[in-house]
Amino acid sequence: MTTKNLTPPTPGNFYVPGLASEYVAERYGIALADIAKLGSAENPHGASPKARAAVAEAMDRLHLYPSWTAEPLRQKIADTYQYQPEQVICGAGETEIISLIIRAFSGPGGRIQMPGPCFPIYHLFAEAEGRVPVLVHEATDRTSMALDVDAYTAAIDADTRIVFVTNPHSPSGTWLAEADVRRIIEAAPHALVVLDEAYVHYSNTAGYIHLGREYSHVAVLRTFSKAYGLAGLRVGFGVAARPIIDALLAVKPTWNMGQLQIAGGIAALDDDEHVDRTVATITDARQYVRGRFGELDRFRIVPESRSNFFLVEILDPDTNSTEVFNGLLERGVIVKDGAASWRGLDDRFLRCDVNLKERMDQLVDALADLD
C-alpha cells in the first residue's frame, strides 16, 4: 500500500477542522462505516430529536424573514438560564459571537489574552481584525496541561482588552474550579472576560453561566453544536450585562440567524433526554478509554479531561504527531494533529474525541498497531 501522508500546514495560521470521513474513505480505500471520526468533537448520537422535528416544522416559514435578533430563541435562553432576553445574543455558532466580541471590545492593536495553546479561533479572529493575541504559554503546565491561574492572572496588564477563559479547556479538557475562574475575572476589572463553556455539559456540572449575572464585565458563551448535536445547524449564544449585549448587537449582521436555527435551538433546550444520554455515553467511554490506554507504552492520555476529547502525548522520541496522525488515517481513525492545529502544542500531542466504546477500541488498537 502506498503511503499517502498529509503534510501539516504552518501551525496556527488558519483553522484546521477535523477531516471528513468521506475524504478519508476515498483517499485510503476504507469503507465509510469503518471510519472512526475522532477529530471534530461531534455528538455520537446525532442531533436532538426534538430539534430535528422543530426544524422540519419550520420549513414552512422559509419564505419569511426571521427576527433580526432571534428574539424567540433569546427569550427561551433567558427563561432557561435566569436572564432577561436583553442579556442574550445569538449567533451562527459560538464562533460568530467570538468574532463580534473581538470587533466590539478591542480596537486595532488591542491586546487579547488567551491560554497557550487555545481554541485557534481566538487568535485567528484577533489577527484578522488587526488585534494582538497574547498566548500565555507559560501558564500551561506541560505535563497536566492545567492552567496555572497565578501565571495567567499575572499576565493581565493595563492594556489587556479581552481575557479568554475556556472551561473545560480546549484542547486539553482540563477544568477550572469556580474560585479560580473568579480570580481571573477579578484580576481584569478593566477588560471583558469571556468564559467559553462550549463543552460544559461533559463536565458533569451546571457550569458557571451565573457569573454573567454577577459581574458587569463578564460574558459567558455556549454552543448547541456539542451535547445537543446541532453542529451542522450553527447555533450559539452568549449571556452578559445588557451594555455588553447592546455593543454586540451593534456590530452583528442584521439577519445572522435563520428560521431553522431559531426553531432548532428552542426545541433543543427542552431535550434533556438527548443531552443526558449523550453525557452518560461520553462519561462512560472516557473512563473506559483511560483504562485501555494502560495497555500502551508509547502513548499516554493527558489526565483529568472533563470534555468529550482528550490529549494523547507521544512518548516515543522516534516519531511525532504528524507521523502518528497519518498512520492512524491509514487505519481508518481520524484525530487532530497537534502540530497542525494549535500554536505551542508542538509535535508531541494528538487530540482525540471521546466516542462510542467501539470507536475507542478502534483508536487504541490502531495506536498499538503502529510500527
In this prediction, residues 165-174 reach a mean pLDDT of 97
Work out the mean pLDDT of the chain and round it to a whole number: 95
The band of 346, judged by pLDDT with boundaries at 50, 70 and 90, is confident
**Structural domains for the chain:** 21-37+273-369 (3.90.1150.10), 64-270 (3.40.640.10)
Instruction: Please give the pLDDT value at position 16.
Output: 86
CA distance 365 to 348: 19
Least confident of 7-21, 63-77, 288-302: 7-21
pLDDT attached to residue 2: 40
Q: Show the CA angle centred on residue 69, arms to residues 67 and 75, nearest 5°.
A: 90
- Verdict on whether the full-model pTM lies above 0.85: yes
Q: Which triple of cell numbers denotes residue 189?
A: 476589572
How confident is the model at residue 69, as a pLDDT?
97
CA distance 286 to 126: 33
Helices (H), the chain: 21-28, 49-58, 71-81, 94-105, 120-128, 149-154, 178-186, 211-214, 242-251, 259-268, 272-293, 321-330, 338-341, 357-369
Q: How much is the average pLDDT of 332-358?
A: 96
**86 pLDDT more than 80:** yes
Whether the predicted pLDDT of 150 surpasses 70: yes
> What is the tens place of the pLDDT at every residue in 173-232?
999 999 999 999 999 999 999 999 999 999 999 999 999 999 999 999 999 999 999 999
Percent of the chain with pLDDT over 70: 97
- C-alpha span between 362 and 43 (Å, rounded): 17
Q: What is the pLDDT of residue 14?
A: 77
Residue 338 CA to residue 324 CA, distance in Å, equals 11
Q: Is the pLDDT of residue 41 over 50?
A: yes
What is the CA angle 11-16-12, rounded to 5? 25
Provide the pLDDT for residue 31.
97
Average pLDDT over residues 320-324: 97
Between these two residues, 3 and 197, which has the higher pLDDT value? 197
